Amino acid sequence: AQSVTQLDSQVPVFEEAPVELRCNYSSSVSVYLFWYVQYPNQGLQLLLKYLSGSTLVKGINGFEAEFNKSQTSFHLRKPSVHISDTAEYFCAVIAGGGTSYGKLTFGQGTILTVHP
């Protein structure tokens, strides 16, 4: 079975500073990787996904993530954050290279708080 660990439950940062949200996964098979953002009282919105190809993935709102197979990591980064980036961020995995599509396994979430 696969699992996802988000190493920080809360990350405070000042506006215009860079940020990295860390995610590690475990799986005995190949994986697809995702980052979602959840604003208060809203559903999850897909930020970016890694399915194959280039290990550096660019998403919406200026976010990017890098797949590191040897370290089983998929950290999310943004060079300069805005107040509006304050939200909860979830890392997720689908294991099996698509054979188990539909079954996202999520991490516990990281609350990003951007201070003025």
Partner 1 sequence: GAGVSQTPSNKVTEKGKYVELRCDPISGHTALYWYRQSLGQGPEFLIYFQGTGAADDSGLPNDRFFAVRPEGSVSTLKIQRTERGDSAVYLCASSFAGDYGYTFGSGTRLTVV
> Can you give the binding site for partner 1, defined by CB under 8 A?
4, 32, 34, 36, 41-46, 49, 51, 90, 92, 94, 98, 100-109
What's the min distance (Å) between Cβ of 116 and partner 1? 26
Q: Which is nearer to partner 1, 13 or 104 (CB)?
A: 104
Q: What count of other Cβ atoms lies within 10 Å of the Cβ of residue 108?
A: 13
Q: Which is nearer to partner 1, 15 or 72 (CB)?
A: 72
Angular region, 71: left φ>0, alpha ψ -120 to 50, beta rest? alpha
Q: What count of other Cβ atoms lies within 10 Å of the Cβ of residue 58?
A: 10
Q: Which is nearer to partner 1, 81 or 95 (CB)?
A: 95
3-state secondary structure of 61: helix
